[in-house]
Chain A
Amino acid sequence: MFTEENLKKIEEIKKRYPTPQAALLPVLWIAQEQFKWISEDVMRYVAELLGLPYSHVYGVVTFYTMYNKKPVGKYHIQVCTNVSCMLRGAYENLEYLEKKLGIKVGQTTPDMKFTLTEVECLGSCGTAPVIQVNDDYYENMEREKLEKLIEQLSRDGK
């Protein structure tokens, strides 16, 4: 199921640690990159690949919030609402996004384009409020900037 390239990458990663189990988090990252989310099948596959019990892999995947346990949209919008962001309008941003996208926090639009998640501190407090879209940070997201970004993403022109 992993591509040849990814299998090679995994072999390289395993060399960094004295046990195959230690490669679990990095391998799950590669899995998420390739399969977009970590399904039960993926967990069983990773477990077999690293020689670990499925229960262990399941325990790890469900512990860490960044592993997607269900499919996410093309743009995964993660809104930090922790204190520094809250003080500068994060909840107003979140409310705007819910209205604009027509979904609640934790949901994905029916066209699988947007997933909206409320997240804890992203370590970007000096440029609050911050949102993360997939891997990228968008800082100082005042309303106007946020509106522009969403329009751009809706049109798919990033």
Chain B
Amino acid sequence: MEQIKLILKDIPELHRIEVYEANGGYSAFKKALGMKPDEIIEEVKKSGLRGRGGAAFPTGMKWSFMPKDSRPKYLIVNADEGEPGTFKDRAIIEKNPHQLIEGALIAAYAIGAQTIYVYIRGEYVKWMKILQNAIDEAYSRGYIGENIFNSGFSVDIYIHRGAGAYICGEESALMESIEGKRGYPRVKPPFPAQYGLWGYPTTINNVETLANVPVIIEKGGEWYSKIGAPKHPGTILFGVSGHVNKPGIYELPTGVLLTDLIYKYAGGVRNNKKIKAVIPGGSSTPALRGDQIEGVTMDFDGLRNAGSMIGTGGVIVMDEDTDMVKVLWRIAKFYWHESCGQCTPCREGTGWMFKILDRILKGGGKPEDLDLLVSVASNIEGNTVCALGDAAAWPIKFGVERFREDFEKYIKFKSTVLVEK
């Protein structure tokens, strides 16, 4: 598959506004200001762009939910990157922050937002500075502010720093956090477009999603829709980590083979080992066994058919020596830690799953523990306000099913016979 770079282009110093402008930057925004907001939304719909934050919801459709009245409206850029295995948004902010800003400006114009908040995870101090610098540059050139290029459109962009809570990447928890509260997800409906920040219509888009928008406006939705997988077009910044020779971000068209991503781009598995498991889209997506990855394409349908999800495109590769009980134990620990505590099934269930896995890992597992794990996971799934419950349940449920022999070894020998490398 041909590599095509729409975001992480091979242009040195692209983070500087003069370099970005010299390479056609902000021309899409100028073009957009000459279009009607509905025309922009139509173009994005035509492009088939789907959200890159995990849920793959059609972006144009999301924008079209925004009411057309005169109330204040908000756009939120979700840069609360925290899904284990995911490190793409920081790459965009570092290498091409202006394309993100330009995409956000086009989005704000299309949905009628006067204020843009960038919610960025609290640990990304370095990237906050890079982004703030880019925002300041864009203000100074008149791309942000009052009556931009005499269009009558005014908008401000503010960075809002998170403070260490994975749940705030969930859009309604994120809004609570901006409002200065604990990050408890809201019950939906109403959806953010109806009742968002301070009750006003709000759209929340992921960093990578917005970075695609200038390309769509510049080249047209139809052009974009022909890249990659027809039902999930465009490129994705796949982050490959774990036991590969060349971990990193690879921007590739959707529909690329998972095996190509691992062997052709990420340099294959360290020490030429076999693959035991692959988490294809961040820790919330169930791991596939090494014998399940042949022919799997990296797009929404490809991964659904394979028994997992595209998620954030954060691929974690584990070699044949990996202790899957320990991996699932670590994932369970994460969701237990990050559960906000609002819904009982998630608050209690994530803790129970962790405790059972901890017992198994320490040699005290019982044969019935495996069914118990699946039962707890099933009782979390679908019974919570937000998707964190599902994200905690699925990896464990499928993990027990797909890596049963690892668990059985632990339970049979009552000791940690497997050592992680």
Contact = CB atoms under 8 A, between A and B. Distances in A.
Interface in A116-158: 119-128, 132, 135-137
A128 B241 contact: yes
Contact of B330 (A26, A28, A81, A137): A81
Given A64-B164, A65-B164, A120 B82 contact: yes
A29 B158 CA distance: 15
Contact of A19 (B89, B158, B179): B179
Contacts of A16: 156, 158
A76 B158 CA distance: 28
A66 B164 contact: yes
Nearest to B266: A126
Contacts of B183: 63-64
Contact of B163 (A25, A82, A87, A136): A25
Interface residues of A, number: 42
Given A28-B163, A67-B163, A121 B83 contact: yes
B38 to A, nearest CB: 27
Given A18-B198, A123-B124, A83 B279 contact: yes
B44 to A, nearest CB: 27
Interface residues of B, number: 57
A21 interface: yes
Given A19-B198, A25-B162, 19 more contacts: A16-B156, A21-B180, A25-B180, A29-B122, A64-B163, A65-B165, A66-B162, A87-B322, A120-B84, A120-B337, A121-B82, A121-B166, A123-B82, A123-B121, A123-B124, A125-B85, A125-B247, A126-B241, A137-B123
Contact of A128 (B125, B182, B247): B247
B71 interface: no
Nearest to A90: B330
B239 A126 contact: yes
A84 B84 contact: yes
B220 interface: no
B327 A21 contact: no
A82 B279 CA distance: 13
Nearest to A60: B182
A83 B84 contact: yes
15 contacts: A16-B158, A21-B180, A21-B181, A22-B180, A59-B181, A64-B162, A82-B84, A83-B84, A83-B316, A87-B242, A87-B243, A119-B164, A121-B86, A123-B87, A137-B123
Contacts of A43: none
B68 interface: no
Contacts of A23: 180
Contacts of B314: 125
Contacts of B243: 87-88
Contacts of A67: 163-164
Contact of A137 (B126, B316, B421): B126
Contacts of A124: 87, 90
A125 B239 contact: yes
B396 interface: no
Interface of A: 16-19, 21-26, 28-29, 52, 56, 59-60, 63-67, 81-84, 86-88, 119-128, 132, 135-137
Can you list the 7 inter-chain pairs with the closest CB atoms, starting with the nearest? A66-B164, A24-B180, A64-B163, A65-B164, A125-B241, A21-B180, A84-B241
Interface in B229-248: 239-243, 247-248
A126 B249 contact: yes
A67 B162 CA distance: 10
B420 interface: yes
Given A83-B283, A84-B242, A132-B123, A121 B84 contact: yes
Contact of B334 (A59, A120, A126): A120
B331 interface: yes
Nearest to A62: B182
